[in-house]
Amino acid sequence: MEGSDYKLVQAIGDGNREAFEQLVKRYQKGLFNFIYRYVGERSTAEDLTQEVFLRVFLAAGRFEERAGALVSTWIYRIAYHLSLNELKRRQRFLRISNHLEDAMQGRGERSSADLMEVQALKQTIVSGLRLLPENQRAALLLRVNEGLSYQEISEVLGVSFSSVESLLFRARQTLRRHLEKLMQE
């Protein structure tokens, strides 16, 4: 089943499982990677991704009420709030951050000839992401990795457009300084 996100959500609201499968296929990788990089733990990210899709399935019938909202924004907003709650609930961010580094080092393009370089790159970026406050990290991942516009990010995070600009500016400054520092060492 093909169709716009909105049509799929409408069909899901009518209980159409094929539409749901299509939507899952469309969003699963991006969503999972966003959550994974945000919360830093693979199994938690997978559970949260599942939870997001279940909520989408259950709430699809009510989506029409949110006129004007994009399906992608809606889905990422659910993902963001679930992930944020998870981080708050567990209050174990430091431990998760360490997991992030460990977990991401051991995965990915293992067959690549320049594996060492890829791993070093991951380590550098991951350690930089750890330095960012959660809202800056979310904004940066949504912008750079998921390609959301500032308006969409503002809807996902529930902040103003200018706040998004500021979050991204500060996130990039921090990450840039981090990379510069590592390159000088």
Minimum CB separation of residue 185 from another protein in Å reads 16
Measured CA to CA, the distance from residue 92 to residue 109 in angstroms comes to: 29
Q: Site for another protein (CB under 8 A): which residue of 18, 64, 109, 114?
A: 109
DSSP 8-class letter at 115 = H
Q: Site for another protein (CB under 8 A): which residue of 50, 90, 92, 133?
A: 50
Residue 140 touching another protein (CB under 8 A): yes
Q: Site for another protein (CB under 8 A): which residue of 29, 66, 88, 92?
A: 29
**Binding pattern for the stretch 61-100 against another protein, x by CB under 8 A and - elsewhere:** ----------------------------------------
Backbone angles phi, psi at 70, to 5 degrees: -80, 145
Residue 150 touching another protein (CB under 8 A): yes
Structure tokens at 71: 């399906």
Residue 131 touching another protein (CB under 8 A): no
Around 124, how many Cα atoms within 13 Å sit in the side-chain half-sphere?
17
In which residue are the tokens 């406050």 written?
A: 133
Return the amino acid letter for 180: E
Q: Which stretch binds another protein (CB under 8 A): 2-10, 63-71, 89-97, 161-169?
A: 161-169
Q: Site for another protein (CB under 8 A): which residue of 27, 57, 63, 74?
A: 57
Residues 140, 78 contacting (CB under 8 angstroms): no
Minimum CB separation of residue 123 from another protein in Å reads 10
Q: Site for another protein (CB under 8 A): which residue of 5, 101, 134, 165?
A: 165
- Cβ neighbours around 105 below 10 Å, total: 14
Which conformational region is residue 85 in: left (phi greater than 0), alpha (psi within -120 to 50 degrees), or beta? alpha
Q: Which residues have CB under 8 Å from 138's CB, separation 6+?
A: 38, 80, 83, 84, 156, 157
Rule CB under 8 A: which residues touch another protein?
17, 20, 24, 28-30, 32-33, 36-37, 42, 46, 49-50, 53-55, 57-58, 104, 107-109, 118, 121-122, 124-126, 140-141, 143-145, 149-150, 165, 168-169, 172, 175-176, 179-180
